[in-house]
Amino acid sequence: MKIAIVMGSDSDFPIVEKGLKILNDFGVEVDVRVISAHRTPFMALDFAQNAEANGYELIIGAAGKAAHLPGVLAGCTPLPVIGLPIKASELDGMDALLAIVQMPPGVPVATVAINSSENAALLAVQILSVKYDELRIKFKKYKEEMALKVIEKDIKLNEKLKNN
């Protein structure tokens, strides 16, 4: 199982890194690239057109401002693309969110919240888990552990409130 995370700029990496950690924890092979839809459009086109042949099964496209990268990638590959809008301008990432989510018919891009690389990674794991049972097992365990953390926080808070 192999995916690509493609960022429009290396300045997106501090956000992307959180999702990369999750993917690594799940044992997903990930290549991270910096390719701009605007400054290196032919490179973006080549990457997307050859992604399947290069063994990728999914692409996460992270971009801020005009954020055309995920849409360009999705327009040139049959692979699923997850768009990760990055807060990179005065518009608090709304420009990126709208650029990614407002795709024309026939060019779907699954889109997560602004700066939500964790959810992009988890959605990638869920999509891949359709094919890879070991990911589904790990994802179920992840959700169980997440629920246990919430239960523990609830217990601690209620103990604190009783002692006040």
Enter the tokens of residue 17. Answer: 């890194």
pLDDT (tens digit per residue) in 73-125: 999 999 999 999 999 878 999 999 999 999 999 999 999 999 999 999 999 99
Q: How far is CA 43 from CA 6, 68, 85, 91, 120, in A?
A: 11, 14, 20, 28, 23
Tell me: do 102 and 157 sit in the same domain: no
CB within 8 Å of 141: residues ≥ 6 apart: none
pLDDT (tens digit per residue) in 40-59: 999 999 999 999 999 999 99
Tell me: do 94 and 160 sit in the same domain: no
Residue 141 clears pLDDT 90, i.e. is over it: yes
Counting residues of the chain whose pLDDT is more than 70, the rounded percentage is 100
DSSP strand pairing (58-64 vs 81-86): parallel
pLDDT recorded at residue 32: 98
Tell me: do 62 and 111 sit in the same domain: yes
CB within 8 Å of 10: residues ≥ 6 apart: 34
pLDDT recorded at residue 37: 96
Task: Name 5's bridge partners.
Answer: 32, 60
Tell me: do 105 and 162 sit in the same domain: no
Tell me: do 62 and 19 sit in the same domain: yes
Q: Residue 33 CA to chain centroid, in angstroms? A: 13
pLDDT recorded at residue 131: 97
Q: Give the total number of structural domains in the chain.
A: 2
Tell me: do 124 and 139 sit in the same domain: no
Range of the domain at 153: 133-164
Tell me: do 97 and 157 sit in the same domain: no
pLDDT recorded at residue 89: 75
Local structure of 110: helix, strand or coil:
strand
Contact 61, 36 (CB under 8 A): no
Tell me: do 155 and 89 sit in the same domain: no
**Best CA proximity match to 7, nearest among 59, 80, 74:** 59
pLDDT recorded at residue 158: 94
pLDDT recorded at residue 90: 80
Tell me: do 25 and 57 sit in the same domain: yes
Tell me: do 117 and 155 sit in the same domain: no
Tell me: do 67 and 36 sit in the same domain: yes
Contact 112, 121 (CB under 8 A): no
Tell me: do 141 and 81 sit in the same domain: no
pLDDT recorded at residue 119: 98
Contact 52, 73 (CB under 8 A): no
CATH assignment of the domain containing 42: 3.40.50.1970
